[in-house]
């Protein structure tokens, strides 16, 4: 399947690949003369159309307009650099989506996830002191590989959907990376693509986009919004992002706008009730994997072990053997969330080692081990490696 995808990318380098929304092209067709047009008004229209953004950024990063070769990742600056006439010419020459393509269920879903990711990432940028437009654009293009497959290889896209999530992200990310590189996109966009490993120290922007995508998928799938507190200090930040999206509904094609309206309508029941709750949602598949790792480690360490997660307002302990000592249960696990390495404690004559783990790069729970003897340096070093491996395996849940 990977070879088929690579062969497809070579073919798509000679084709349009992405197609513009007809209503966006028509708006530019009737635009008022230069001198009376606000560039920001143009940018606001362009920001909802990947094909037009692609064409404008690609042109602005060409040798003719950018001889210095410094990557230009700002659509606003690209529009000013090119000027109204050049932008209008690019837009009017763009191939447009057919009505059938605009109604394609998979395309609409992918477009909605991209928009939600972009709007949430832009709202979070203000708190993280990042460039809001860059966060928006990187978030908007994060899953562009899936849209490319939907529009140009629908059969391959459906087969990819039947595979594990990690494989889906890897393959669509590979397709997007090959094409974005061919289109001379700045490296920032490549770093933000799905399927790209975040590594031990991802940039703040890439992490923001990753978490924004997780929220977007939860909204689409009507799941509890697990990671809002990783992006925003209060729920108002996310509410603001969704309110901005609601105000811009008229900019989107009817099919995309309709699904977004449904999400907005369901949003209170999904979201309001999450504030103040410190429960941690851990997918079943992630729990099973963590339990298997716990079982292996207890045998290797010759220790007792338990899986610790937050559910129903309290910490729950799932032990593989003897009951978890009360002293361990009274530990302040909330303070340990987000730790990057194992933590060792001496509790009433027991050596307790707490190994935090993350699901989708969000702190999710702990593997806790206890025994009477101390943990050796090589055991501690081995657990650090296990944590990195486990977090990597759980990164796509």
Tens digits of residue pLDDT in 356-377: 998 877 788 899 999 988 889 8
Assess whether pLDDT exceeds 90 at residue 265: no
Instruction: Give the confidence band of 397 by pLDDT, cuts at 50, 70, 90.
Output: low
Which residue would you say has higher pLDDT here, 279 or 284? 284
Assess whether pLDDT exceeds 60 at residue 54: yes
Whether 261 and 291 share a structural domain: no
Instruction: Say which CATH number the domain at 345 has.
Output: 3.30.450.40
Residue 8 within any structural domain of the chain: no
- Is residue 63 within 8 A of residue 30, CB to CB? The reply is no
Instruction: Give the confidence band of 209 by pLDDT, cuts at 50, 70, 90.
Output: very high
What integer is the mean pLDDT of 150-161? 93
The pLDDT score that the predictor gives to residue 34 is 53
Q: Residue 359's closest CA among 241, 249, 218?
A: 218
Whether 205 and 313 share a structural domain: no
Whether 119 and 251 share a structural domain: yes
By DSSP bridging, strand 350-359 and strand 362-371 are antiparallel
Residue 29 within any structural domain of the chain: yes
Q: Mean pLDDT lowest for which of 99-103, 224-228, 260-264, 356-360?
A: 224-228
What integer is the mean pLDDT of 66-80? 90
Whether 253 and 327 share a structural domain: no
Whether 304 and 372 share a structural domain: yes
Taking all residues of the chain, what is their mean pLDDT, rounded to a whole number? 86
326-333 contacts, C-beta under 8 A, 24 or more apart: 328/352, 328/368, 328/370, 333/308, 333/366
Q: Residue 11's closest CA among 156, 193, 169?
A: 156
Instruction: Give the confidence band of 310 by pLDDT, cuts at 50, 70, 90.
Output: confident
Which residues form the domain of 132?
A: 101-277
Q: Which of 218, 253, 277 is the last residue of a domain?
A: 277
Whether 147 and 273 share a structural domain: yes
* Three-class DSSP labels, 196-226: CCCCCCCCHHHHHHHHHHHHHHHHHCCCCCC
What integer is the mean pLDDT of 231-260? 88
Whether 88 and 158 share a structural domain: no
Assess whether pLDDT exceeds 80 at residue 338: no
Q: Which of 96, 129, 152 is the last residue of a domain?
A: 96
Whether 147 and 245 share a structural domain: yes
Residue 2 within any structural domain of the chain: no
Whether 265 and 140 share a structural domain: yes
The pLDDT score that the predictor gives to residue 221 is 84
Residue 9 within any structural domain of the chain: no
Assess whether pLDDT exceeds 60 at residue 108: yes
Whether 318 and 340 share a structural domain: yes
What's the number of domains the chain is made of?
A: 3
Residue 199 within any structural domain of the chain: yes
The pLDDT score that the predictor gives to residue 122 is 95
Structure tokens at 171: 């393959």
Whether 126 and 261 share a structural domain: yes
The pLDDT score that the predictor gives to residue 193 is 94
Q: Which of 96, 113, 142 is the last residue of a domain?
A: 96
Residue 7 within any structural domain of the chain: no
Whether 83 and 124 share a structural domain: no
Instruction: Give the confidence band of 270 by pLDDT, cuts at 50, 70, 90.
Output: very low
Residue 51 within any structural domain of the chain: yes
Residue 6 within any structural domain of the chain: no
What integer is the mean pLDDT of 271-288? 60
216 CB-contact burial (10 Å; exposed 0-12 / middle 13-18 / buried 19+): buried
């Amino acid at each position: 399947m990977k070879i088929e995808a690579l062969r497809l990318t070579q073919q798509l380098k000679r084709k349009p690949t992405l197609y513009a929304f007809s209503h966006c092209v028509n708006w530019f067709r009737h635009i008022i003369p230069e001198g009376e047009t606000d560039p920001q008004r143009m940018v606001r229209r362009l920001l909802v159309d990947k094909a037009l953004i692609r064409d404008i950024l690609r042109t602005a990063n060409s040798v003719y307009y950018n001889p210095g070769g410094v990557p230009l990742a700002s659509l606003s600056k690209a529009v000013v650099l090119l000027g109204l006439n050049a932008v209008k010419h690019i837009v009017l020459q763009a191939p447009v989506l057919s009505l059938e393509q605009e109604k394609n269920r998979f395309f609409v879903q992918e477009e909605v996830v991209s928009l939600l990711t972009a709007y949430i990432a832009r709202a979070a940028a203000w708190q993280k002191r990042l460039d809001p437009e860059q966060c928006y654009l990187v978030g908007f293009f994060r899953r562009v590989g899936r849209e490319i497959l939907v529009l140009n290889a629908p059969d391959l896209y459906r087969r990819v959907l039947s595979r594990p999530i990690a494989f889906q992200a890897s393959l669509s990310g590979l397709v997007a990376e090959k094409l974005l590189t061919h289109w001379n996109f700045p490296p920032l966009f490549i770093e933000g693509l799905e399927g790209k490993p975040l590594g031990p120290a991802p940039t703040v922007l890439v992490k923001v986009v990753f978490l924004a995508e997780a929220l977007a998928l939860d909204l689409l799938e009507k799941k509890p919004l697990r990671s809002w507190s990783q992006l925003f200090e209060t729920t108002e930040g996310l509410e603001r992002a969704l309110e901005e999206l609601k105000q811009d509904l008229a900019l989107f094609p009817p099919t995309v706008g309709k699904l977004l309206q449904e999400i907005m309508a369901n949003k209170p029941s999904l979201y309001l009730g999450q504030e103040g709750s410190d429960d941690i949602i851990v997918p079943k598949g992630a729990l099973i994997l963590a339990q298997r790792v716990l079982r292996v480690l207890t045998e290797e360490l010759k220790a007792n072990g338990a899986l610790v997660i937050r559910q129903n307002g309290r910490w729950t302990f799932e032990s593989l053997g003897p009951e978890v000592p009360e002293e361990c249960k009274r530990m302040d696990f909330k303070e340990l969330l987000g730790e990057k390495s194992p933590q060792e404690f001496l509790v009433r004559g027991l050596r307790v080692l707490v190994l935090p783990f993350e699901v989708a790069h969000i702190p999710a729970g702990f593997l806790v081990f206890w025994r009477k003897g101390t943990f050796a340096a090589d055991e501690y070093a081995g657990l650090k490696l296990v944590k990195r491996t486990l977090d990597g395996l759980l990164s796509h849940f």
